[in-house]
Structure 1
């Protein structure tokens, strides 16, 4: 009886052991701060870990976008990870457009009313802040996805990126390297077109490849459509600013009973402007960014399929060369 109870307890313990959550938070990464300095953005990467590979349990390092690219390139170039989907690198911070808009607004200050200028400046500053927060979030998600990966998290370059206190001495590409990268991209694109017609022996991978190609094309079209919608909402909001300001100006210059209705119209367009700006912001942050996230992810999966096709093509070529060598 005791043996039966004991075996039941062991079985129960074994069942509990089988359901233990092994995904412990033993490597937590967040970007605690970010500082924009002219053309560069410095991210403060904060890490908490229980892993013995690290010298400390909690530490901070300062990293620039080029160092994120360096880390992503190290993963892409490592043949040991050729069969893995590498999380896509976050896009380069682009604050030039917002700065150009602010500069253009400053240049046209003389032809705008003070109310128009203040509202447009407020809109652009809010847009700049939202873009800054979005940039920080995308860089943070990139690191968190690497930390959550059972294999990539153990990479030595990843540990150096997180732990090394000094700069990684990663510089931006010069003109020669940029041209070389451009031709490399063209070569890869041409190679992808050639390999697209390659016969896939495994039906599973053929189905996956065709699905990814269709999915990536559709989601890219959806992303472009969402971006157009966002720009249209922004244009409408800017138009409402001018209408509201125009009615306000008319109301102050008109001393008749009509001025009250003009003020009501100005207030209506101001409320409509706030609503339109909210719709534009929500569409950008909740729809466009989500679509863009899946678009980059599907492209990373397509890159994996490309590496597989490239390996298969090289394998077939090597076999043909071997057969020719044997025939001699």
Structure 2
């Protein structure tokens, strides 16, 4: 930390919180052949300039690769990469059957709005991060236009080779995941993260089941409303009254259907989004803790090697031990800051998600109630 001299003594200068260099909004997404293209509106804070770039999901994967392959980022919690958009008909059919039931003939349309929301959350976490927000890779992603796609495509072959190398390293380091931590606080975080992630995934799955049940019930209301709209073959005064009554009931069924559809959509956008997002984010946190554990094992192995080193190899062993200690300490210091920031962000996100969920529940219930009361009043006025 920098210092300034005050009254003959050095006093610390407090560092200001990192201010994002950009403001972004993922405006829309469209299908272009076999890819989904996102239009990202970008505002440069320093220059007060507005612009936009068009990116596809492979560009987002390339950005993530550039960030995770840097040196000295072991202690960082990487924002989770958004799920890949589903484009093929088979995936759409499977998704529809899962949400609306195995017997449904309705195909759920593209969820590009959800894809935009996931990408926007990912990018906003990056631009607000004190390390990622300053990276050239992120700057290129948000500012380069025609040249960015060429830059990504030129490195695809090298990416495949590096991926195979990384997978080999992961297989060789699986044994380190269960290593006991020497820092009790980090061990507590590791234990908590495993238990919390398991509970979070269960909550997210159950919440999705609730949303899907609401959609299936909405579909049933729609079928019932359609059945009630059939008119009588014989036209007389009694059949006319029945038709009017059935028509009013059909309208009420359609209102109930609309209310459940709105409720399901809002549930997904509020609490459902936070639950699903933090399942992926907790995986990122566990990956960071795993990387730190690997460095801890390397540090302990270096200490053992130094103790057993022969005189002619002692200098090399000391250098290896110092390097391992430096990497471990750096990762640990960074991890402490990251965990604090992550916890604050998690609490704010769920507070916002729960508040928005409750507000949408109340508003949708009131709107649906008003429509049903209107239909009931119409029935009461009928001369039956």
TM-score (norm 1): 0.73
Structure 1 residue matching 2:37: 3-state secondary structure? strand
Name the counterpart of 1:113: none
Further displaced range: 155-164 or 294-303: 155-164
Residue 261 of structure 1 and its aligned partner are, at CA, apart by 3.2
Deviations 1:6-58 (A, max 9, x none): xxxx9xxxxxx97x975545422223443321331212233322559xxx954
In structure 1, the partner of 2:56 is 64
Cα distance, 1:316 vs. partner? 2.3
Check 1:189–1:293 CA distance in 2 against 1; reply closer, same or farther (3 A cut). Answer: farther
Shift of residue 186, structure 1, vs aligned partner? 9.4
Aligned to 1:145: 125
1:34 partnered with 2:29: yes
Q: State the Cα deviation string for residues 83-105 of structure 1 (Å, max 9, x = none).
A: 1111111111124469845xx9x
Deviations 1:201-221 (A, max 9, x none): 001111111111111111111
Per-residue Cα deviation, 1:132-163 (whole angstroms, up to 9, x for no partner): 12211221221221111111112121222222
Aligned to 1:156: 136
Task: Kindly provide the CA deviation profile for residues 223-281 of structure 1, in whole angstroms up to 9, marking residues without a partner as x.
Answer: 111111121111111122211111212x3446424333332332232122112212221
Q: Tell me by how many angstroms 1:318 deviates.
A: 3.1
- Other structure's SS at 2:149 match: coil
Q: 1:204 to 1:234 in 2, by over 3 A?
A: same
Question: 1:50 & 1:245 partners in 2: Cα distance?
Answer: 53
For 1:97 and 1:222, the matched residues in 2 are separated by 29
In 1, the alpha carbon distance for the partners of 2:190 and 2:114 equals 31
Q: Which runs of 5+ in 1 are unaligned?
A: 1-9, 11-16, 105-116
| Alpha-carbon distance, 1:183 to partner | 10
Q: Distance in 1 between matches of 2:271 and 2:234?
A: 44
Between the aligned partners of 2:308 and 2:234, the Cα distance in structure 1 is 94
Q: Which residue of 2 aligns with 1:197?
A: 178
Distance 1:229 1:252, change over 3 A: same
Determine the structure 2 residue equivalent to 1:314: 298
- 2:145 matches 1:165: yes
- Quote how far apart the aligned CAs of 1:282 are: 1.8
* Distance in structure 1 (CA, Å) of the matches to 2:89 and 2:21: 39
Corresponding residue of 2:192: 211
Number of equivalenced pairs: 286
Change (3 A) 1:100 1:309: closer
User: Relative to 1, partners in 2 of residues 1:41 and 1:252: Cα closer, same or farther, differing over 3 Å?
Assistant: farther
Identify if the C-alpha distance between structure 1 residues 308 and 205 changes in structure 2 by more than 3 Å, giving closer, same or farther. same
Matched, 1:280 2:275: no
Cα distance change of structure 1 residues 187 and 266 upon mapping to structure 2, 3 Å threshold: farther
Moved more, 183-192 or 279-288: 183-192
TM-score when scaled to structure 2? 0.64
Measured in 2, the distance between the counterparts of 1:254 and 1:190 equals 79
Determine helix, strand or coil for the equivalent of 2:79. Answer: coil
Partner of 2:80: 88
Deviations 1:149-190 (A, max 9, x none): 11111212122222222233335989x959x96996697489
